[in-house]
Structure 1
């Protein structure tokens, strides 16, 4: 537990991590207000689709916060420790204090999970509450299971970013790929137009845990959660294997 607390303090001490936390907490609720006029018109003329997805779709932009947290939890270890030692990295100091690499990775993952889970819960409650306040009876109240699915997706996406950054040891590349793939030109989404199997890619399948309208392929929420968890576990396993065999 002491190692988890140390990693939690380290994560919360990073400026970039606070950027991720603030971005995750603020962006989604702000989007609700920005989109309110257009959303009201779409709901009124029946062009919106499933109204129960409204609040959950607004959460999408906030996932950037989970990605940033997952990336900086690792990338901060590979940055220079100072101008006097440009080749030095924080990881060397970290491994000196915690030489058991598997315990270090587990502690980092636990600290990240805790922070992202709190962020995801607060953002989901705030965003869904605002959606109900702004649109009232036009949308149904969110089911607790769907809220839990959204928070789980938030956590798994943060861990996915954590694993990919560990594999490539480059936060800029990882964050760029994740942001591009979660935008309007999502590679995963485009692949679903080529083969339905692409719906089981981690970023797409995870959305089925809480959204009802996710493309043409229908996947049960529990199945979606198990598949995304398997993806994250596999990537974390690969990342841990590589981390054990690499030099600091």
Structure 2
């Protein structure tokens, strides 16, 4: 069943948009920013370059966000013009009536694709960073693994939100704007320190050390908090998915 969901996910054109964008954006940003970064390191503007490369992975999060949304939103699309009210989910549940098993298979397929994309993107980004800035120390393997985990958790977060809303456009738009234009979570940290425990604020503390976080949280604690958010949202989504009509 996981294999079927994996083929279904990789058969979606929108998923490939997420794969291509998520994989290429971070290395391209590293390449474009190279002259500025060299100058900033030389004049001391960047006093601690240990987050270089890892920090650039943030722009690539568009990839797992798209994957997490389309893996479930595709089930709510119309099966064709002859039956505009019929959804792909009806066909899927006919073939596999067990809804929780279906969600588990989709989750595993999503994790496999997102983790693979994260590993490739991290390797390409960090390798390019080292080539362009050879004096910058490479991050520890544990930090790289934490970045890959965060990438994968973001995919599951997008999946859970879409599962709850049964709409792909709204969560994807919010997630992309929140991560690239203006972070609602960051604005909330100006109101209360508790906002530092929101997923997109606490998650990066799993692997970044020099960023200006409103509240400093240990990497292990950050990972546990992020995982707890994902587990809670997936549980809510699973309950709603089990009770709703297709």
Measured in 1, the distance between the counterparts of 2:202 and 2:47 equals 20
Check the 8 A contact 1:208/1:214 in 2, yes or no: no
Q: Which 10-residue stretch deviates more, 10-19 or 215-224?
A: 215-224
How far 1:23 sits from its partner (Å)? 0.7
User: Any idea what the Cα deviations from partners look like across 1:68-125, whole Å, max 9, x if unmatched?
Assistant: 0000001100011111111111000000011010000000000000000000000001
Structure 1 runs of 4+ off > 6 angstroms? Answer: none
Residues 49 and 172 of structure 1: CA distance in aligned 2, closer, same or farther (over 3 Å): farther
Residues 84 and 28 of structure 1: CA distance in aligned 2, closer, same or farther (over 3 Å): same
For the residue of structure 2 that corresponds to 1:227, the secondary structure is: helix
In the alignment, does 2:144 pair up with 1:144? no
How far 1:141 sits from its partner (Å)? 1.0
Residues 13 and 220 of structure 1: CA distance in aligned 2, closer, same or farther (over 3 Å): same
Give the gaps of 5 or more residues in structure 2.
Answer: none
In the alignment, does 2:198 pair up with 1:201? yes
Give the gaps of 5 or more residues in structure 1.
Answer: none
For the residue of structure 2 that corresponds to 1:83, the secondary structure is: coil
Q: What TM-score do the two structures reach when normalised by structure 2?
A: 0.98
Indicate which of 29, 40, 43 corresponds to 1:42. 40
User: Any idea what the Cα deviations from partners look like across 1:211-233, whole Å, max 9, x if unmatched?
Assistant: 11242311111100000000000
Q: Kindly report the root-mean-square deviation, in angstroms, between the aligned alpha carbons of the 2 structures.
A: 0.8
For the residue of structure 2 that corresponds to 1:118, the secondary structure is: helix
Indicate which of 23, 26, 32 corresponds to 1:25. 23
Aligned length: 245
Measured in 2, the distance between the counterparts of 1:155 and 1:214 equals 23
How far 1:159 sits from its partner (Å)? 0.1
Q: What TM-score do the two structures reach when normalised by structure 1?
A: 0.97
Residue of structure 2 in register with 1:87 after alignment: 85
Q: Which 10-residue stretch deviates more, 116-125 or 78-87?
A: 78-87
How far 1:48 sits from its partner (Å)? 2.1
Residue of structure 1 in register with 2:223 after alignment: 225
User: Any idea what the Cα deviations from partners look like across 1:174-215, whole Å, max 9, x if unmatched?
Assistant: 101101111241011111122111110011100000111242
Indicate which of 117, 127, 130 corresponds to 2:128. 130
